[in-house]
Amino acid sequence: MQKRKKLYEGKAKILWATDDPNLLIQEFKDSLTAFDGVKKSSMGGKGSINCEITSALFKMLESKGIDTHFVKKIAPSEQVVRHLKMIQLEVIVRNYVAGSLKKRTGLPEGKEIERPIVEFYFKSDELHDPLLAFDHIFMMGFVSMAEYNYLRKAALKINEILGNFFSECGLKLVDFKLEFGRHGTDIVLGDEITPDTCRLWDEKTGEKLDKDVFRFDLGDVESVYKEVMRRVTEISV
């Protein structure tokens, strides 16, 4: 498979066309960003770590019946993925109060949510990914009602699977972001699942093992990401 034209470059990944129009190469970058790119840095090997974590998690999700874009890992920081037409929505699932939910509600960080919350955000760097009300999603034509219901149901199923898996790893899944795309008539999970897109806390100590360590200068980011990779790959083997 040959890497060809660069199709997209974001803060954390690059998508490359290949000689097969149905397949792309997803390359994970070593960059670290927070607060809509205001805070920037890099970490050698981060791309390889996140590629390994995502590859393991997507293979696990596939084994549980979740349709994803993942095909195979081909290099330390590269995967072959199916070419999706991405939906401009970020789907956030929250199990505990943290981050923007804490700011919006005033509830204490770490409070368990009785029923997981599913939120939808407009994926737009220019507008800083605003939270959308239910009617806004249809006003902007992102999805149909049936597709909205599918996204919500899929997100909750993925949350259950990931929550159980991370618990086996000794990690509490606080919240996480998902992105979906269309592959023909099917809606498929795309993007990544990594410490960049999840809040993960150690179940025993409460230690933060995710990008909040970089956001708020809480310690050694590299050791945190490597620890998540170690736990994920040990359980997924």
Q: Which two tokens stand for residue 178?
A: 């998902």
pTM surpassing 0.85? yes
User: Domain check: are 102 and 55 in the same one?
Assistant: no
Cα 113-198-105 angle, rounded to 5 deg: 40
Q: Which two tokens stand for residue 82?
A: 């199916």
User: Domain check: are 49 and 18 in the same one?
Assistant: yes
Q: Let me know if residue 188 belongs to a domain.
A: yes
User: Domain check: are 139 and 167 in the same one?
Assistant: yes
Segment 117-176, tens digit of pLDDT: 999 999 998 999 999 999 999 999 999 999 999 999 999 999 999 999 999 999 999 999
> Which SS3 state, helix, strand or coil, does residue 199 take?
strand
Residue 236: the pLDDT is: 76
Segment 155-164, tens digit of pLDDT: 999 999 999 9
- Here the CATH number for the domain that contains residue 207 is 3.30.470.20
Say if residue 111's pLDDT is above 80: yes
Contacts of 216 (CB under 8 A, 6+ apart): none
User: Domain check: are 17 and 47 in the same one?
Assistant: yes
Q: Let me know if residue 235 belongs to a domain.
A: no
pLDDT, the chain, mean: 97
Q: Long-range pairs for 176-179 at CB < 8 Å and ≥24 separation? A: 176/92, 176/93, 177/90, 177/91, 177/92, 178/90, 178/91, 178/92, 178/93, 179/86, 179/87, 179/89, 179/90, 179/91, 179/123
Total number of domains constituting the chain: 2
User: Domain check: are 214 and 113 in the same one?
Assistant: yes
- In percent, the amount of the chain with pLDDT more than 90 equals 96
Domain hosting 21: range is: 3-82
Q: Pick the last residue of a domain from 48, 82, 116.
A: 82
User: Domain check: are 67 and 138 in the same one?
Assistant: no
Cα 201-203-208 angle, rounded to 5 deg: 20
Q: Pick the last residue of a domain from 82, 108, 133.
A: 82
Q: Let me know if residue 237 belongs to a domain.
A: no
- Here the CATH number for the domain that contains residue 24 is 3.30.200.20
Residue 136: the pLDDT is: 97
Q: Let me know if residue 155 belongs to a domain.
A: yes
